[in-house]
Amino acid sequence: MLLIAALTLVNGVLGLIPNSRFLGEPGDGPTVVDVLGEKGVTGLKLHNTETGKDSVLNLEGVFVAIGHKPNTDLFKGVLELNDVGYIVTKGKSTYTSIEGVFAAGDVQDPIYRQAITAAGTGCMAAMDAERWLEGQGHK
């Protein structure tokens, strides 16, 4: 299940609607039913799952942050994972707990978890792998 926190911009002040659900995702907490506005965001239509009442939150912008559990179950017992399931890498590198195995992107990045970060760490992993292979005598 995806957990969502809707960050909202209301009168220039950033706010947070914690444990929100977006467009009918199951669970407790307010459900974002609709993003309002014609040429830009003017508000959110919310449904309170506890009271059953609908409301409108007037705002000028919204950012939807999706939290997730990384898809690393196949590495359990093989690579070192943290308590949430991210692959642990050494320092600011892509080196894992097994020599010659590198991790990049969403499976090892609990902070940013975005596609552009995955592309950047993918490049880092390629460079780390190249250096490791050279260190093993492969050219």
12-71 pLDDT per residue, tens: 444 455 555 555 455 556 777 888 888 888 888 887 777 788 888 887 777 655 556 788
Question: Any idea which fold 73-135 has?
Answer: FAD/NAD(P)-binding domain (3.50.50)
* pLDDT tens digits, 56-110: 888 777 765 555 678 888 899 999 999 989 999 999 899 999 988 999 888 888 7
Tokens of 2: 């995806």
Are 5 and 16 in contact by the 8 Å Cβ rule? The answer is yes
Average pLDDT of the chain, as a whole number: 75
In the chain, where are the structural domains located? 3-67, 73-135
Pairwise CA distance, residues 73 & 13, whole Å: 39
d(CA 14, CA 7): 7
- The 10s digit of each residue's pLDDT in 122-132 is 888 888 888 88
The encoded tokens of residue 29 equal 């907490």
Can you give the length of the chain in residues?
Answer: 139
List 55's β-bridge partners, or say none.
46
Q: What percent of the chain has pLDDT over 90?
A: 17
Name the residue type at position 18.
P
- DSSP summary character for residue 106: G
